[in-house]
Each structure stands twice: as C-alpha cells, then as structure tokens.
Amino acid sequence: MKNNNFNNKFPAFKRQPFVFYLITSCTFLLILIRLIFLQLVNNETYKKMSDENRIRLIATQPIRGRIIDKNGFILADSRLKYSLILKPQYIDERAWQKYKLKISKLLNISSSSLQKKYSDGLKNKNFLITLLDNLTEDQVIKFKENENKLNGLEISSRMIRNYPYKNVASHVIGYTQPITDSEFKILSKRGYKLNDLIGRTGIEFVFEDHIRGEWGGEMIEVNSSGTFIKSLGIKPSKQGKDVELTIDMNLQLIAEEVLKDKNGGAIIVMDPRDGAIRAMASKPTFDLNFFSKDFKPQKEYDALFNSPTKPLFNRALNAYDPGSVWKIVTAIAGLESGRFPPETLLETKPCIKYGSQCFREHNDLGFGTIGYEDALRVSSNTFFYQIGYGVGVDEIYDVSKKLGFASLSGIEISEQENVGLVANSKWAKDGRGWGEPGRTPWVPEDIASMSIGQFVVQVTPIQIARAYAAIANNGYLVTPHLSKNEGHPFSNQKPKKIDIDPSNIQLVKNGLRKVVESGTGVSINYGVSNLPPVSGKTGTAEDGEGGSDHAWFVCFTPSDKSELLIVAFAQNTPGGGAVHALPMAKEILKVWNKNK
C-alpha cells in the first residue's frame, strides 16, 4: 500500500526502467550503425588506410624511352647513375660496424660520412639509405667483386637523361626537369613520384606519356612501430617507348654547321610531299645535358635563361619580316583575283609613290616591262607594288590563309610556335593590336609594304616552308611533322588540296625555276655538279624591330617532282639572301644529293 502511494506521489520513478531501456537501445543502435558504416560502407577506404600503414613501397625508376632519328641514330636516351644503398631492415648494428669499415676501405671513402648517413637513415625510419652517390665505374666494379660478402648492401642505378649530340636539334628534342612540389599534388595521381622527371619542351614534352614508362618497386610489410617484417614481392618497372623522328642526322648536322658563323637564324629541311621534317636547326642553341646536372652553376644558368641572345628561343618557329620570299603570295593574289591575269605585263620603275613615300626598286632603275615569271626571277619590287595595290590587302590576306599563314602549322612542338601576323583591313580598323579602334586606318603605304613582305607581315620559317611546299607539290598544303610513330595523331595528317587554280601555281613555279636558272638565285649552281634542277627564291628583309636586314633563301628540288625543300634564314645578317642564306642551302643540297 505504501509502495503504491509512493509511486502515485512520484510517477517519474515508474518511467525510469523505460527511459533506461530506451537510452541503452539507442546507444546500441548507434554503435551498430557505426559498425555497419565502418565494416560495410567504408570497408575499402579503411582497408586501404590500414594497408598503407603496414605496407611500404621501395620504388624503382622506369627507363625513359629513347628519341631516335629516321636512321636509328640516338638523339636522347637514359644514362645510368650509380649509388650505393643499404636496406637496414636486413642487417643488425653489429654487422653494420663491420660493413662500414670494409666499404670505407674498399671504395676509399671516410667511415664517418658513412656512419652519418646510416644514423640519419635510421632516425628517419628509412627502408632504403643512400650511402654514396655518383659511383665511378671503378667503385662499381670493386663493390660487385665483394657483393656476396655484404648482405643488405647493393648498387642502385638511377636513370638520368642523356643527349649524345649535346646541342644538336636541341629545340626539337627538348629537355626534362624534376616535377615541382605543386605539380606533384596533381601528377601523383598519374603515377609520378616526387622529383620524378617530366618533359618540359619539344618532343620530350609532347610525347611525355609515350616516353616516360611506369614505376615499379618492392613491397614490404612492417609492423605498427615501422619495423620490417617481410618482403611481399617485386614489380619490375616498365620501360618507356621509343619515339622515332623523321629527322635525318646527316642533314641535321650540316644544318647546324652552316649556322655556326651566323649571329642567329634557322634552317628547315622538309619533304614537300608529306611535311616530314628532315632537319630543323636554330641558332643560338644550347647543350641539353645541362638539365641533367644535379648542380647547375649560376654562370651556365644565366647564359641559358638570362642571355639577350635567347638560346632557348626556337627561331624556326618564330615570326620575322619575310621580304621578297613573300612575293609568291602577292603573285597568286594577283592571278586569283582576275585583275592581273597570267599574261599581265607591267612597267617597272626606279620608284612608285604611295601616300607620302616613294617606294623604290631594289636596283634603283627598274627592269623595264615584264610579266610574273621575270618579276620573280629578278625579284622586282615595283612590279609587286602594282599587283598588291591593285588587288588590295584583303585579297592578299585571303590567299595567305590558304597557304597556311597567320595560323599554326600543326607541327608537334607547337608550344614553341608563333602564329605571326598578316595584316588586313579589319586588323587596321580594330586598332592594329595596339591602338584604339577607328584611329589606325589602313593607309596606302601599308599595301606597298605588304606586297613585298615588310612591316605589316611577320611569318615564321615553318610557315614559309608550308607555302613553298604547296608550290612544289602542285597545290597541297602539308602539315609539318617530326614523328614517324604510327598511330600518333600527328602521323595521320594528310596533305590538303588548296583552293587555288593549279595553272596559277604552275606559273609561279615556272618563275621560281627561272630564279635559279638566270635570276637572283643563280649562284646555287656554282661549284656544284650533278644537282637535279632546283627552284627557289631569295629574300632580303628589313627588320621591323630596327635591327640589321634578314637574309632568306627558299628552294626545292627536283623542280618538277620535288623531294626536298629547304628554308634558310640568317637573322640580322645584312648583305642579302643570295649572299648569306643561299650558301647555307647549297651545302645542305650537296650533302643530300651525295647521300641520295
């Protein structure tokens, strides 16, 4: 009776068992949910974390693929750099003391330096300690002779990039550098290791995924304190694939040689039938092996990165005033427009006035009344002034686009390429890239300059090569390429038929043949025997940036069914294309003809 009165007075006590059971049930339910979450939902995540805590990888570097020329000459490979490493999990302290003295005597290094590296390695709980870097060949041999007595010690080989020809084709091949910490955060997901090498420029950059290979290594198991338990197996590293180039080292070496006495310049040797690059040289150049050095002296670094001559700059893909080698564009514009048909004859003069300026003939006399072929043969300025002024800037611009100007060439190493400039009326109306729209209109002086490739025209040697290839192969625009590897996107570019009347192309082609037969390029024949017929064009261009004149020469051979095209460019080398650029092309022709 008393209990009933007590419960009636204090009803909360009647609910205590229910509340207790409710709290207990909720607690067990939360624990159950948490267990389900850990064991089932996030099983793989926590398993991976567990494995990462108990499994370690001792990585082995892959061998980077080679870069080779069309004949098998090695342009880039990997050289072994040897290091002496210790796996401390395989030896005890007593054995180490014996090994240390033996290694010191065997390899002629101080025992104290060995001890320091050993102690630092243990302190950092490393499973691989580098005791000595950059072993000489003699040291490697001595160790190998005693290897069976030094358990836990071995020679580790690390691959560094090696360029046997040093500065030959350096802008084409490109170089590698270790990845940065910021890059590692992204690239680690793609299998890169800290301080792994990555291609920075050229073929090394473009074909990075093809060349790099895959890391391997030894998986080892450790306990909670980080002590070695056992080896779980070894996965060999996978070597990178080779890249075979269209480059012909015989032509590449002579291209580099003929540039040696020039302040700067470029050589392009190309097959005009398909755009395969046989040689590409740029001056100044640089030694690719600089980037493989562990220590880079400041003087060498400054000479490469801070030099006013810009040796890293690929002049074969940079834009310059083309001068008279541009005249084929103006000629085709005149023909295609219908205003100046093939039979056109124009009177050339000492100078013709446009705007406030009288634009001179290069001989200050004129060449009488002549047609297209002779205008190309003698490289008349006043003939092409009249053609250009007659058809207008936009007609010239449209033809230039068909020939591949004012656009990237499609070559693999496009990260080095400049699109150049071909002016048009819209460009002038929009401010010429530096002024206010409507304040910089097209003026008569512009069209005269444009007609002969000056000031409002900036083109690259590779663009010149494409345009002249279209003349040589009778109307097909090719994509310059460096790789022979089948299946790569760059190897599938087919020549494209251009929308230009074939008869107009043939007329220009006839004029280019006359240039070499009896015109400004006739000296290509002097002192050379057995050359097949050559067609070409000389060019001398004022430097729009105020420097000395540029010298150009372009040629292709045989004239009818061309197999080789050469663009020779000497930067800021006054004296004319026939004097400075033509002799470079001649030396290349001689080597090609001899080998052929």
The per-residue pLDDT for range 295-330, each reduced to its tens digit, is 778 889 899 999 999 999 999 999 999 999 999 999
Place of tokens 């800290």: 194
**Lowest-pLDDT range of 27-41, 129-143, 246-260, 399-413:** 27-41
Run of H or E residues at 429: helix 425-429
Q: Name the residue type at position 460.
A: T
pLDDT tens, position by position, 473-526: 999 999 999 998 665 655 567 899 999 999 999 999 999 999 999 999 999 999
Candidates 267, 287, 288; CA nearest to 279 is: 267
Residue 322 is encoded by which pair of tokens? Answer: 């083309």
What Cα–Cα distance (Å) separates residue 315 from each residue in 103, 171, 410, 555? Answer: 52, 9, 16, 19
Q: Are 378 and 367 in contact (CB under 8 A)?
A: yes
With a CB cutoff of 8 Å and minimum separation 6, the contacts of 392 are 447
Query: Per-residue pLDDT averaged across 66-93, rounded?
Result: 90
Q: What is the mean pLDDT of residues 199-227?
A: 83
Q: Is residue 67 part of a domain?
A: yes
Check pLDDT > 60 for residue 99.
yes
Per DSSP, the residues of 60-122 read EPPPPPPEE-TTS-EEEEEEEEEEEEE-GGGS-HHHHHHHHHHHHHHHT--HHHHHHHHHHHH
Q: Are 425 and 452 in contact (CB under 8 A)?
A: no
**Residue 309 within a domain:** no
Largest CA distance in the chain: 141
> Are 221 and 334 found together in one domain?
no
pLDDT-derived band at 20, boundaries 50, 70, 90? low
* Token pair 């080292």 in the structure block, residue: 249
Q: Which domain holds residue 362?
A: 249-283+316-595
Mean predicted confidence (pLDDT) in 427-438: 90
Residue 6 — very low, low, confident or very high, per pLDDT cuts 50/70/90?
very low
For residues 74 and 164, the answer to whether their CB atoms sit within 8 Å is yes
- CATH, residue 135: 3.90.1310.10
Query: Is 231 part of a structural domain of the chain?
Result: yes
Q: Are both 352 and 232 inside the same structural domain?
A: no
Residues 496, 518, single domain; the answer is: yes
Q: Tell me which DSSP letter residue 397 carries.
A: H
- Vertex 386 angle, CA 383 and 391, to 5°: 130
Cβ count within 10 A of residue 124: 8
Q: Which two tokens stand for residue 190?
A: 């793609």
Residue 9 lies in a domain: no
Contacts of 525 (CB under 8 A, 6+ apart): 516, 531, 534
- State whether 473 and 576 are in the same domain: yes
Question: Is the pLDDT reported for residue 569 higher than 60?
Answer: yes
Q: To the nearest whole number, what is the mean pLDDT of the chain?
A: 89
Number of H helices, E strands in the chain: 22, 23
Residues 328 and 212 placed together within one structural domain of the fold: no
325: domain CATH number is 3.40.710.10
H/E stretch holding 194: none
Question: What is the CB neighbour count within 10 angstroms for residue 46?
Answer: 13
Rounded-to-10 torsion of CA 444, 446, 448, 450: -150
In a domain, 6, yes or no: no
Please state the domain count of the chain. 2
What's the average model confidence in pLDDT over 558-571?
A: 97
Considering the chain, what percentage of its residues have pLDDT values greater than 70? 89
Contacts of 452 (CB under 8 A, 6+ apart): 323, 324, 326, 327, 330, 381, 384, 385, 388
As a whole number, mean pLDDT of residues 32-61 equals 60
- In DSSP terms, which residues pair with 550 in a beta bridge? 541
Amino acid at 81: K
- Residue 17 belongs to a domain: no
Is 50 exceeded by the pLDDT of residue 332? Answer: yes
Neighbour order of strands in the sheet with 265-270: 277-283, 265-270, 564-570, 550-557, 535-541
Q: What's this model's pTM, rounded to 2 decimal places?
A: 0.82
Are residues 464 and 424 both part of a single domain?
Answer: yes
pLDDT at 49: 43
Kindly state whether residues 145 and 169 are assigned to the same domain.
yes
- pLDDT for 133 equals 79
How does pLDDT run across 160-201, given as a tens digit for each residue?
899 999 999 999 999 999 899 889 989 988 888 887 889 999
Q: Are residues 203 and 279 in the same domain?
A: no
Whether residue 515 is found in the same domain as residue 591: yes
Instruction: Kindly state whether residue 264 falls inside one of the protein's structural domains.
Output: yes
Q: Distances in Å between the alpha carbon of 143 and those of 9, 95, 116, 394?
A: 94, 17, 20, 74
Sign of CA dihedral 371, 377, 382, 386: positive
Q: For residue 427, is pLDDT > 60?
A: yes
Burial class (CB in 10 A: 0-12, 13-18, 19+), 31: exposed
* 303: in domain: no
- Both 230 and 367 in one domain: the answer is no
270 and 215 in a common domain? no
The helix or strand, by DSSP H or E, that contains position 34, with its residue range, turns out to be helix 12-36
- Work out the burial of residue 218: count CB atoms within 10 Å of its CB; fewer than 13 is exposed, 13-18 middle, 19 or more buried: middle
Torsions phi, psi for 109 (to 5 deg): -135, 155
Residue 190 and residue 165 share a domain: yes
CB 487 within 8 A of CB 494: no
CA distance 461 to 255: 14
Tell me the pLDDT band of 46, cut-offs 50, 70 and 90: very low
